[in-house]
Structure 1
Amino acid sequence: MKVPDALQPEGHASLVSALEQYADNPSAFLALNRDNEYFTCPGIEGFICYRPHGRRWIQFGGPFTDTPSRAELQSQFLEHAHRSGRRIVGVQLQRADAELCAELGLTVNQVGASYAVDLQDFSLRGKRFVRLRNKISRAMRAGLEISEVDADKCADDIETIDARWLREKGKHTKELTFLIGEIGGEWQSLRKLFVGKIDGTAIAYVSYAPVYGSRPGWLHDLSRRLPDCPPGVMEAINSHAIDHMRELGAPWLHFGFTPFTSLDDSHQLPTASRAATRIVRLIADHGDRVYPAQSQLEYKSKWYPTALLPEYFAFDGGISPRSLWSVVRATNIV
């Protein structure tokens, strides 16, 4: 049986339909990023998203298909990779994805977590949000104006903010790839983009992607600001976006995957590598120079998330320096 490993351009419309029906990963919309490839199997609706990197195929999330077909689609993908002389590395797997990979013999380790806020009864009132309210007020007193914008009409502003944001991070800083979303392209109309301006100059933005599944809503994705922004600008933009989302009836706001956070033995699976567990925990404890996990978690914690979702990486054939390097190179995570 011939198994296609990529969709033709005219088949891309089916990707969104599959995500809407089957995706339960808060970051699933990132599967639509440019440069991703898609594995499909005859007779099975849905797909697996991946990117080739050397002798590895880096799989994003689990199989986006109905529950009865998940194991079959994942098995077919593994077999197809092996016939092609490749190994699979799965990233940003949810618990159900991780359990499936473990059942198929892959080494699976928790590498971090994602966080979500239940918006149905959300409010910034109360003592615990005093600091956050003060930061937002400070930004608004500086003259901040926030609006939802068309990405095509503010492309130059976004490019300027991105360039200065990267320069501030240092000449060796690279942008994450694969594990974050993007602005523009075929699916931009499905995202939301909020920009903050002072005196008519764009100084910051936050991009949100739709989330499907058991906790539907929006994913707080790309966020950038100019280095000399007043304090509280990002918080003010997100608060404005939350008000808008609640008006639309969105139940959840997700803050996405943060590597090296909320690690816990209770989250591990039987096929976890002890060596990998030690390495991940070492980075979590001492590796903020490698990846700014704690600063990311501090921002997300300000909103008092109501759901913590452990996330996993899976390694076909066990964890090796080469497989780890494939993940690092494919995602720019360090």
Structure 2
Amino acid sequence: MTQETVEKATAGSAEDALEAIRKYTRAENPSSFLAVSQGNSYFMLPGRPGIVVYRTAGDYLVQFGGPFAPDESYVDLMRAFTAFAAETGRRQAIVQLQEYDARIHAEHGYTVNQVGASYAVDLHTFTLVGTRYMQLRNKISRALRSGLTVIEADYEQWVDGVAEIDRRWLPLKGDDAKPLEYLVGQTGGPMQPLRRLFLAHLDGQAVGYVSYSPVYGSWDGWMHDLSRRLPESPAGVMEACNKAAIDTFIAEGVPWLHFGFTPFTTLEDAREMPGHSLGFKWLMHWLWRNQVVYPASSQLTYKDKWNPTLITTEYVGFPDGASAEGFVNIWRACNAM
């Protein structure tokens, strides 16, 4: 990859990213729709199909996933974006690499480590029958008996209610909490028509919602993305929204419901890549045990109650060695610091 080629790199658009995540699905990234979120930046090369998605944080370009590209241009885009970061005086960190991406990056000298996992439910075999699910069934039933109504909502008709939930939901996370970005989805904007919204209301007042984004590839379906509620909403409002969505998806023949990425979870020695950093591996296990950066345990508990049947490992990558600084800037790009 020559400097001339890097200089000819072009800035893509969300529409370019949408085309790429629909067309180039070999990496099977269940969170790929996050590529089209407002606030992202895009890197493309003339004559090379595909796109790289990133955001700037501190001295880093934080890349989301591997290049969304076919095999013939994947490595060119990978190397060119690394060169682009260096030429702009920044370092590079990559988050949510899938196994396919991770192996290619490791083979080309990047340091690649586990960072967590994504979880999905096979809707062809999904059931809430049996004693295992009794508590979940009862929680949903109590929420519905409180007068709660769950609908698949037209976002534009409920935009004020969604905004009010967002405004009052954030303080539940703590006095200094900020809304996460980048590795979680959005509502509204030009891509909203591609999402689906299941909303709970009490006598016409919106009290909670779950937003779902499309998933492309062989595990196609929908991803349970944003889930928010009013502080005084009935217990079980999120579960009731998700159960209504599941019933709808099953009726439509949707094969998979994804629950997305949870950091620091399902870390296993057998899943590490050749050349991984032992220090970074220790850090990920420490963060899982101590829960000081992200409430991974509570997130995993919510996902586990739906009995996920597909677990996919997610990785981080660095072209110049794993670093705590790089990891901090990944969280900075997510508005978590």
* Fold conserved between structures, TM > 0.5: yes
Query: Quick check: 1:53 aligned with 2:57?
Result: yes
Aligned length: 330
Return 155-164 or 178-187, whichever deviates more: 155-164
Partner of 2:302: 299
Partner of 1:15: 17
Cα separation, 1, equivalents of 2:36 and 2:104 = 23
Q: 2:68 aligns with which of 64, 67, 76?
A: 64
Query: Quick check: 1:266 aligned with 2:270?
Result: yes
For structure 1, which runs of at least 5 residues remain unmatched after alignment?
none
CA offsets, 1:132-187, max 9 Å, x none? 11111111111110111122222211121112111122211122111000000111
Paired residues of 2:280 and 2:323 also in contact (CA < 8 A): no
Cα separation, 2, equivalents of 1:140 and 1:62 = 42
> How far off is 1:12 after superposition?
4.2
Query: Quick check: 1:102 aligned with 2:99?
Result: no
- Listed as ranges, the matches of 1:16-165 within 5 Å are 16-23=18-25, 24-165=28-169
Return 18-27 or 312-321, whichever deviates more: 312-321
> How far off is 1:255 after superposition?
0.2
CA offsets, 1:254-277, max 9 Å, x none? 000001111111111122111111
Partner of 2:241: 237
Q: 1:67 to 1:250 in 2, by over 3 A?
A: farther
CA offsets, 1:190-212, max 9 Å, x none? 00011101122111000000000
Partner of 1:175: 179
Identity %: 48
Q: 1:3 aligns with which of 1, 8, 14?
A: 8
- For residue 209 of structure 2, give the secondary structure of its aligned residue in structure 1: strand
- For residue 80 of structure 2, give the secondary structure of its aligned residue in structure 1: helix
TM-score, length of structure 1 as denominator length: 0.95
Partner of 2:325: 322
Cα separation, 2, equivalents of 1:13 and 1:212 = 15
Cα separation, 2, equivalents of 1:255 and 1:154 = 24
Partner amino acid, structure 2, of 1:158: V
Cα separation, 1, equivalents of 2:328 and 2:238 = 33
Q: 1:162 to 1:12 in 2, by over 3 A?
A: closer
- For residue 218 of structure 2, give the secondary structure of its aligned residue in structure 1: coil
TM-score, length of structure 2 as denominator length: 0.94
Partner amino acid, structure 1, of 2:226: L
The Cα RMSD (Å) is: 1.5
> How far off is 1:26 after superposition?
0.3
Q: 1:324 to 1:15 in 2, by over 3 A?
A: closer
> How far off is 1:75 after superposition?
1.5
Paired residues of 2:112 and 2:316 also in contact (CA < 8 A): yes
Cα separation, 2, equivalents of 1:14 and 1:58 = 19
CA offsets, 1:267-290, max 9 Å, x none? 111221111111111110112x43
For structure 2, which runs of at least 5 residues remain unmatched after alignment?
none
- For residue 56 of structure 2, give the secondary structure of its aligned residue in structure 1: strand
Q: 2:334 aligns with which of 323, 328, 331?
A: 331
Paired residues of 1:116 and 1:253 also in contact (CA < 8 A): yes
Partner of 2:207: 203
